[in-house]
Amino acid sequence: MALFLTARQTPNLKLQAVAAVASLVLALALLQATSCGRRWPLRSLPASPAASIGNPPSSISWDHALFSQVQRDLQEFNHSGITLTHIEQAYCRGSRASIRVQVVEGRVYIAGETPSFQSRMSSIKRQLLNLWLAGGMPDGIDFVIEAEDGPTVGGTNEECPSRGPLIGAAKVPSDPSHSHVVLAPDHTFAGWPEAHTLPWNEMLPLLQHAGELSVLA
C-alpha cells in the first residue's frame, strides 16, 4: 500500500512531488468529509495567525495518475473515514519526526512539528507552499507528514494504541505494520549541506546504476 516513484518515472521530481501531495491531500479531504456522513470540527489551533500563509487562489485540476494510487493506499480507511482520533494517533505515533498540518478558512497552519533533518523539513514546507499557491489545499483538512528516514510507527504503546494515516516522505515501508503509510520518496537529499553528497550531475548516474541492480517493490 505504498506510493513509490522511481527516478525514471519522475523526470520532473519537483512537479511530481507537488502532484503527489496534492492528490493525497484531496483524498484525505474526501474521506474526512464523508466520515460518518459529516465533517468533524477541528480543535483549537496551537499555531498563531502569524504562522499562516494567507488565502488561497483559484483551485487546480486534480486530473493526475497518482490520484488512483493514493485512493488504493487509503482503502484501509474507506469504511470508517478519517476521524480526528485517527489524526491524533498518526501524530502521536509518528511524532519522532513529523509535521501536523491544518487548513482552516483557507489558511495553512503548522499545528505541530518535531525535529528531523532541517533540509527535509524545509523541502516539505516548500512543497506545501507550492501546493497552496496552486490552490490545492482543501479547507478543513488535518493531516500528518512523517519526515523520518523510514516509518517509525511499527509498534504500539499505551499512548498511541491505534493507527492513523501518515504521509511518509522518505523510504518504502519494510514491515506489514506500516501498511497505513502513504509514501512518496524524498529525492532532495542530494542538495543537503548535512548530507555531504556529490553534486547532482555526479550522483544521478550512481543512483540509476544502483536502481538497476536492486529493484524496490
- Report the pLDDT value the prediction gives residue 149, as an integer from 0 to 100: 65
- Report the pLDDT value the prediction gives residue 189, as an integer from 0 to 100: 63
- Report the pLDDT value the prediction gives residue 52, as an integer from 0 to 100: 39
Beta-carbon contacts of residue 17 (< 8 Å; ≥ 6 apart): 10, 127, 184, 187
- Report the pLDDT value the prediction gives residue 13, as an integer from 0 to 100: 43
Query: Is residue 138 predicted with pLDDT exceeding 80?
Result: no
136: pLDDT confidence band, cut at 50, 70 and 90? Answer: low
- Report the pLDDT value the prediction gives residue 115, as an integer from 0 to 100: 74
Percent of the chain with pLDDT over 90: 0
pLDDT digits (tens, 9 = 90+) for 49-105: 333 334 433 444 445 555 666 666 677 777 767 777 777 777 766 556 778 888 887
